[in-house]
A = this chain, B = another copy of it.
């Protein structure tokens, strides 16, 4: 797990993180809105580790855990923010690029003196009192494993499964170019520590709801393409018929997977008068810059934004910007 191109964390920011956690007694871990495998896996693994070294740890999630990730939380310890009884001396954010992403959990922050922000998003806003961001980590799970090591926190089979799920989901199953030799070496170590890869594979990728398959059919029926650009759209009525908010997860990968496509988008009219936009690129275009132009953010290959307006207007605006970004002189 040592690689000259991606050294283990060090420096004053990392020292501040580890000393704040060593000094902590009661830690609130906060998932981001629409929590994914990286958010859930990191927080549950680190919470488990903190408890093993005598800390109290409570995990809150501003949104429900998606059905295909519920296996990571067999004890149902991720609670809604209003169920987390303070006081806490430390709030720990893993995988949250900005405070927008913590939704209703924000109300808990007023009285917590130390806010630790650990992330891998280049766009992280360093909103903590202590911040550590490693943009070379393919998943926040990499930083979480290094945090466990730095705190001499044990990684048992359940924590290993959670961290493996974090790595596997954020890298699309070790398929994205951001996956490094370090990511895979960590995955190897987690497997050796007892990570249940078959469980992760089955639950994450092979336990779809009927609703998600229906929504996939609706999305595919809406497929639009224009040169290197492909997109799918979900109207409010499509989304209203779906029980699980996680059902639209991964849909953007279908237009992205079309041969010859560089930029893919999912437009989901999930609230009246606004559209959630997920953006993906395959090789060249930095979609985080595209998302930023609409008040969002993310990574070069995966980003998103939420734009006010009706579905068609928002789609037209974003697609125009994407076409500009696809020009040789465009954002890239």
Contact = CB atoms under 8 A, between A and B. Distances in A.
Interface string A234-275: 000000000000000000011011110000000000000000
A214 B3 CA distance: 44
A283 B225 CA distance: 39
A175 B188 contact: no
B175 A187 contact: no
Interface stretch (A14-22, A106-114, A204-212): A204-212
Given A184-B187, A257-B208, A3 B192 contact: yes
Nearest to A257: B206
Interface residues of A, number: 49
Given A208-B258, A220-B214, A174 B174 contact: yes
A225 B213 CA distance: 12
Nearest to A255: B213
A221 interface: yes
B213 A258 contact: yes
A253 B213 CA distance: 12
Nearest to A207: B259
A217 interface: yes
Contact of A220 (B174, B176, B213, B257): B213
B173 A174 contact: yes
A216 interface: yes
Nearest to A201: B175
A23 interface: no
A33 interface: no
Nearest to A68: B259
Contact of A181 (B3, B192, B198): B192
B209 A259 contact: yes
Contacts of A257: 205-208, 213
A180 to B, nearest CB: 6
A282 B198 CA distance: 8
A88 to B, nearest CB: 35
A175 B175 contact: no
Contacts of A180: 191
A317 interface: no
A163 interface: no
Given A188-B188, A220-B217, A208 B259 contact: yes
Contacts of A59: none
Contacts of A288: none
B208 A187 contact: no
Given A213-B220, A213-B223, A217-B223, A201 B176 contact: yes
Return the 4 tightest CB-CB contacts between A and B, nearest first.
A175-B201, A177-B198, A184-B188, A217-B220
23 contacts: A168-B175, A174-B174, A174-B187, A174-B197, A176-B198, A176-B201, A177-B196, A181-B188, A181-B189, A182-B188, A183-B188, A184-B184, A184-B188, A185-B185, A187-B187, A206-B253, A208-B259, A209-B258, A209-B259, A213-B254, A216-B220, A220-B220, A221-B221
Interface of A: 3, 67, 168, 172-177, 179-185, 187-189, 191-192, 196-198, 200-202, 205-210, 213-214, 216-217, 220-221, 223, 225, 253-254, 256-259, 282-283
